[in-house]
Structure 1
Amino acid sequence: MSHSTALPALLPSHREQTLGLWLGLIGVVVFALTLPMTRLATGTADAPQLSPWFVTWARAALAGGLSAIYLLATRSPLPAPEHRQPLALSLLGNAIGYPLLLGWALRHVTASHAAVITALLPLATAAAAAWLLHQRARLGFWLFAGLGSLLVAAYSVLRAHQLGHGFGLAWADLLLVGAVIAAALGYVAGAKVTPVLGAERVISWVCVMALPLTVPGALLTWPDQPINTSAWWALLYVGVFSMWAGFFAWFRGLALGGALRVSQLQLLQPFVSILAAVPLLGESLDAMTLGFAVAVVATVFMGRRMAAPPIAYPKSNKETS
């Protein structure tokens, strides 16, 4: 092909791929705290705090304000027309779909419970990478990922039965699955334009593009009842870090290390979420939750070992093997 001689120059070096993994890890820790912080912000069905609608709009509006300042300070040019579709997909997935579905689900399940379901995120992100970025993995990767999905479904059914809801998937778990799909599509869409726009500009443009929706949405859903101070602090965290600063590291990590590879760092995310929920929410460490989390993460880890590199060239075989 006429462009084959230019492609090796675009392949990240081994050092850049390692940096991508570290940046991805930082992003995972930031995002892991999103679950307990979101539950702290929204409260529970019995003791509600901020509406999930308000949390969704307000966190994106807060990030949008910071993004506008950043883009103006760096004199960033407007995205090219071909970049707007991936940015819009990231907007729908990361700025609206994921936080809204997660917020409603966390009104009814614990952050630890949600951490097990959202452990499916590496599978969903890898599938989105295969679809949008044309990255591929070996059959073994998908077999282990499928096993992880079955474990998550089994956990949900057993937990529902344990709570007296019979054998079946709870609607909150379906919301969590929807949140996972939305986040995965948003992650990969953002990673698609990161090499051109830069990680910081990708999430910043996403948040700025969302302002015509998020600012009116936040004003229309502003709480009219007293809210705990802890809920406002949690909203500040998910607005500044979960919605904005965390993506600086995450999108850059996906671009440098490869979305298929770096996405597997999310196997650490459920454990960070479960552990953080203990001091933040007073949740207890549940043996069944921890057991299923370990089993799901183990399947994702084994799948990661079978994942093919995003792009392979003869000159870089030693570096990527």
Structure 2
Amino acid sequence: MTAQDSATRPTGITVTAKAEAAPAGGHDGSARGGLLLAGLGVVAFSLTFPSTVWGLESFGPWSLVCLRSVLAALVAGGFLLALRVPLPERRHWGSLAVVAGGVVVGFPLLTTLALRSSSTSHAAVVVGLLPLTTAVFAAVRTGRRPSRTFWLAALAGAAVVIGFTVAESGGRPQGPDLYLFAALLVCAAGYTEGGRLALRMPGWQVIGWALVLCLPLAAAGSVLALAHEPVRWTAQGVTGLVWVALVSTFFGLYVWYRGMAAIGIPRASQLQLAQPLLTLVWSVALLGEDLAPAAPLAAVGVLVCIAVTQRARA
């Protein structure tokens, strides 16, 4: 190895590391656009739980999850074919598999199973830890070390959520809470890998290829699920399916990953602080749920703790 090689190798490594952690666009216009796109994603996601409850009026949990993936994959695959998008590089398929397992299969399935017996307001507060969980995954994945303030706030937020779920479940976590906590982990992994991939390809292609990757499994699952779960056609049930398929799964993740690429994973995570409160509003307005007295306080407590972690990271 020559002296020139020795001098240039560290520079190349530094550039790669910065590309992993930094947003793609740094100017004000790009930042504003990224904030708007990520914000649209949060609004789309905030309606996912109420839409899932609507979808469960017509479909069983397995049918709903598989059908939403099939519909979203057909739309994404149509765009990919129409625009003649080439296959991703082989080195990206592992990350796409994480995205698929986390946000296409894992999170929808686990939250749908939880919502069979959990209210949307309760689920929204538990999933309020998702921004924090995503920030932790991003910190580990990019090699950044959170400060002591970050960890103190993280523990405080976890204590608020665990305390709320234990109190609401009569002294110990129940099955739905276990589903929701597992959903946090797989979704955070999918968000982090998707955010990293969005630095290398458009955000809609990230979720598009992840959906196409799941299409054979989702199609087979739909056939099996529909054969064993009854279908009761209602307007709200179909509306719920269409929303979670086309808006939550495809459009929401498209603008979310594109926003993450523009402003960075930690900053985009801050916008999700509003998601639990928005879902609480939708659960009352669309589903007529009665909020538990502790739910709004718990949601606000979680948001405050996550806000502190984001400031500490910055």
TM-score by length of 1: 0.88
SS state of the match for residue 3, structure 1?
helix
The answer to whether the 8 A contact 1:120-1:149 is kept is yes
Q: Which moved more, 1:64-73 or 1:191-200?
A: 191-200
Asked whether 1:148 is paired with 2:160, we answer: no
Q: CA deviation at 1:52?
A: 1.3
SS state of the match for residue 169, structure 2?
helix
The answer to whether the 8 A contact 1:17-1:258 is kept is no
CA, structure 1 residues 5+142, in 2 after alignment: closer, same or farther (shift >3 Å)?
closer
Structure 1 residue ranges without an equivalent (≥5)? 44-48, 162-166, 309-321
The aligned length equals 298
Q: CA deviation at 1:136?
A: 3.9
Asked whether 1:218 is paired with 2:214, we answer: no
- Paired residue for 1:263? 269
Equivalences for 1:106-255 in 2 at 5 Å? 106-161=115-170, 167-222=171-226, 223-255=229-261
Q: 1:74 aligns with which of 83, 89, 104?
A: 83
RMSD: 1.7
The answer to whether the 8 A contact 2:59-2:232 is kept is no
- Paired residue for 2:50? 36
Q: 1:50 aligns with which of 44, 50, 59?
A: 59
The answer to whether the 8 A contact 2:42-2:271 is kept is yes
- Paired residue for 1:297? 303
SS state of the match for residue 296, structure 1?
helix
Asked whether 1:65 is paired with 2:48, we answer: no
Asked whether 1:93 is paired with 2:107, we answer: no
Deviations 1:208-249 (A, max 9, x none): 111110111112212434232211110110000111010111
- Paired residue for 1:3? 12
Q: CA deviation at 1:6?
A: 4.9
Distance 1:224 1:116 in 2: 31
CA, structure 1 residues 134+254, in 2 after alignment: closer, same or farther (shift >3 Å)?
farther
Distance 2:274 2:173 in 1: 24
SS state of the match for residue 221, structure 1?
helix
CA, structure 1 residues 284+181, in 2 after alignment: closer, same or farther (shift >3 Å)?
same
Q: CA deviation at 1:5?
A: 7.6
Distance 2:121 2:216 in 1: 34
The answer to whether the 8 A contact 1:116-1:289 is kept is yes
Distance 1:36 1:61 in 2: 20
Q: Which moved more, 1:108-117 or 1:254-263?
A: 254-263
Q: CA deviation at 1:282?
A: 1.0
Distance 2:125 2:106 in 1: 19
SS state of the match for residue 216, structure 2?
helix
Q: Which moved more, 1:109-118 or 1:185-194?
A: 185-194
CA, structure 1 residues 14+134, in 2 after alignment: closer, same or farther (shift >3 Å)?
farther
Q: CA deviation at 1:4?
A: 6.3
Q: CA deviation at 1:281?
A: 0.9
Q: CA deviation at 1:280?
A: 1.5
Q: CA deviation at 1:37?
A: 0.8
- Paired residue for 1:13? 26
Distance 1:260 1:51 in 2: 36
- Paired residue for 2:3? none
Q: 1:307 aligns with which of 278, 290, 313?
A: 313
Identity of aligned residues (%): 35
Deviations 1:182-232 (A, max 9, x none): 111111111111111210100000111111101111122124342322111
Counterpart residue type for residue 33 of structure 2 = L
- Paired residue for 1:311? none
The answer to whether the 8 A contact 1:261-1:307 is kept is no
Deviations 1:100-128 (A, max 9, x none): 10001001111000000000101110111
